[in-house]
Amino acid sequence: MVTTHNLGFPRIGARRELKFALESYWKGESSREQLQALGAQLRQRHWQHQSGLDWIPAGDFSFYDQVLDMSFTLGNLPERARGFHGDPLDNYFRVARGRSARDAEEHAVCCGGIAAGEMTKWFDTNYHYIVPEFTAGTQFKLDASRLVAQVREAKAQGIKAKPVLIGPVTYLWLGKAKDDSDKLALLERLLPVYAQLLEELAAQGVEWVQLDEPVLVTELDAGWQHALNQAYHHLKSSSVKLLVATYFGTLQDNLYLFSNLPVAGLHVDAINARDEVRPLLNLLPSHRVLSLGIVNGRNIWKTDLNAALDWLEPYAERLGDRLWIAPSCSLLHVPVDLACEQELDAELKSWLAFALQKLDEVKVLATALDMGRAAVAAELAANQAAIASRRASPRVTKPEVRAAIAAISPALGRRQHPYLVRAGKQAALLKLPAYPTTTIGSFPQTAEIRQARRRFKAGELDEAGYTRAMQAEIARSVREQEALGLDVLVHGEAERNDMVEYFGEQLDGYAFSQFGWVQSYGSRCVKPPILFGDISRPKAMTVAWIQYAQSLTARPMKGMLTGPVTILNWSFVRDDQPRAVSCYQLALAMREEVLDLEKAGVRIIQIDEAALREGLPLRRSEWTTYLEWAVESFRITANGVQDETQIHTHMCYSEFNDIIESIAGMDADVITIETSRSDMGLLEAFDDFKYPNEIGPGVYDIHSPNIPTQEHIVQLMKKAAERIPAERLWVNPDCGLKTRQWPEVIPALANMVAAARTLRASA
């Protein structure tokens, strides 16, 4: 019999219940007990959703981030968070976001704010994790209470639980040595704590434990490869059976190492690494379980079940009861339930599968393998009809878009003159001071904005009324910025629900769910648009809003756009053509918007490419091809304008040092980047590479409610000036401010503007 299991389930809730509970707790509007009760309700519901699987994950639920959970389980807290004597959950949130709850009556911070943990992308996904921090003296001490409690909960509910942990080598690989020490030297201290944890789980009656080691799909030097061998030889005597899981890519030169780890089972991503399954099977010892991730855990298209069975059946015959099947990775990256969707048209909906539907696919495949296809004939026929419908639909392919792609030439990606020529013309036109100040684009999405949007969608507010409501919010943003003394203003993006969804809603070839939320970090959720067909732009998308904002001020107003690579990487992308083709289609559509903004008199246009780096293949040897089409897509979007039009781009929460030359190749006049959580550490790239254009290193962390001081901002900018000429530096936050509140934003920006004035005075 084939064994079915799951690697992880979306934790946020089908209606974002966890998001709202977290934010209520952080505001002091609800208690710790209420938050914990909501967590227990979600876990119970999610385990019930997974009933019918042979093994169900436990420990995959988190109040913020699974890597941060692992840090607390291992007792690896940053020095600044140690010695805290309040509620451990509050200390957890202090590391996650710099601050935890507020007292509901006094509106006072209940615990001291600290610098939040650095945050970056989880491999090549849009999920962010809190980076573990290490020093040469780091010690580990087990706290298994969270995981043991969830295992006990599952057991009490009759759940056959398989605890899920970040593997020890991946945990070290994900972290950062704050003193430049060797992270791998900590492995010998770490492994006994992992061994102790496994014994704690065995004492709870646990049979299988899943250890996630996605580091295996990256390029590892001999030291890291040896660490994997060392780790699992140390843990092989554990009283539980270990399933080592890898996903998101191919094993390549780690294939032999992976196949010979001394564990009871291995999980491989059979979506990305399908061609490696046969050689892996030839290396697999005869007693070892092989789990195949046959259903795509990162995208929302239905699995072609008949094709999957054609591929699976020979392996099932060969492996017998040693074959497990599952989604390719945790379902954290997809929405919960397609059945919630009432507005998607029936044809498009028939092409999709969210988390619950993906688990149904796993169950159908297992039944067919165990009992024959006849046992699930109706399900297979319905699936085949949906697959055929998508392939034949005229909604998917548009000849005019294909013709435009074929006509792309290198000239589309070139500015008229190099940066130095452009910079002189832009300076004469814009007349900005030294250390010009700006923000990244969005301002707080207030209750009034959200209410107006809800009423408009419900038909309770007509278009004219909605426009007036949004204009009022834009006017407020402009007034606040002028009062603060910012040099380059933004309209605040009141009318935008999300930086990708907003554009996708106005582009042909996209569709939108009502409840297709996925977690980006903490309580932050996004609802990725569904890119199902060829892309085109029917009409201008932002021009009227930017024109209105510019009419309210004499100061420069930035036009705000999302770049083609970010729209691509933050969408559920069609899987029936190369990603590069879809990106070029988006580039041509967004280029039309850039040119329309310029015609409307907008002289600064920001094209955000926050997700450029996260689209990188996990293996450096594959980067060049991706970067070529990604950078060219940006250039096609940006470079049709006149020299006098200043092009900005923004990148956030990415380790981009190793692609700095490609970023320079984008040839944006100004780039703004996240640097505050790393204490300007990301600017080390500029020690060896002289970035040719202007740059705005983010000077305060917008993902934390902590308000930066003027002195701290001055200090950060002085660090930046050690690497970048002061005349090419801008002063700005790390990212957009939509998730903050005005009472936080105004004093923070006031300190930022005051810091810029101090810097000018001392220049």
Residue type at position 377:
A
The per-residue pLDDT for 713 is: 93
The per-residue pLDDT for 659 is: 87
Q: Mean pLDDT for each consecutive 10-residue tract of the chain (763 residues)?
A: 97 97 95 97 98 97 98 96 89 92 43 83 93 97 98 97 98 96 97 98 98 98 98 97 98 97 98 97 94 98 98 97 98 97 94 98 98 98 98 95 96 94 97 96 93 93 96 97 98 92 94 94 94 97 97 97 96 96 98 98 96 90 95 97 97 73 93 74 73 88 85 91 91 91 94 96 87
Both tokens of 466, joined, read: 């909605």
Q: How many CB atoms lie within 10 A of CB 201?
A: 25
Catalytic residue numbers, as ranges? 703
Q: How distant, in Å, are the alpha carbons of 44, 152, 525 from that of 148?
A: 15, 6, 28
Question: Are the C-beta atoms of 151 and 200 separated by less than 8 Å?
Answer: no
3-state secondary structure of 414: coil
Alpha helices in 459-605 (DSSP H): 463-484, 501-504, 543-551, 564-569, 579-599
The per-residue pLDDT for 112 is: 65
Q: Residue 301 phi/psi, 5° resolution? A: -85, 145
Give the CA count within 13 Å in the CB-facing half-sphere of 704: 26
The per-residue pLDDT for 109 is: 43
CB proximity list for 408: less than 8 A, separation 6 or greater: 584, 588, 636
Q: How distant, in Å, are the alpha carbons of 175, 437, 550 from that of 476?
A: 41, 19, 13
The per-residue pLDDT for 656 is: 72
Question: Are the C-beta atoms of 608 and 499 separated by less than 8 Å?
Answer: yes
Question: Are the C-beta atoms of 558 and 605 separated by less than 8 Å?
Answer: yes
CB proximity list for 320: less than 8 A, separation 6 or greater: none
Backbone CA torsion sign across 442, 444, 450, 453: negative
Q: Which of 443, 427, 544, 430 is nearest to 484 (CA)?
A: 443
3-state secondary structure of 461: coil
User: Which residues fall in the annotated binding site?
Assistant: 16-19, 121, 440-442, 493, 524-525, 570, 608, 614, 650, 652, 674, 735
Q: Which of 51, 87, 55 is nearest to 151 (CA)?
A: 55
Both tokens of 218, joined, read: 């990256």
User: Which residues fall in the annotated binding site for L-methionine?
Assistant: 440-442, 493, 608
Both tokens of 357, joined, read: 């539907």
The per-residue pLDDT for 633 is: 98
The per-residue pLDDT for 105 is: 33
The per-residue pLDDT for 111 is: 53
User: Which residues fall in the annotated binding site for L-homocysteine?
Assistant: 440-442, 493, 608
Give the CA count within 13 Å in the CB-facing half-sphere of 763: 18
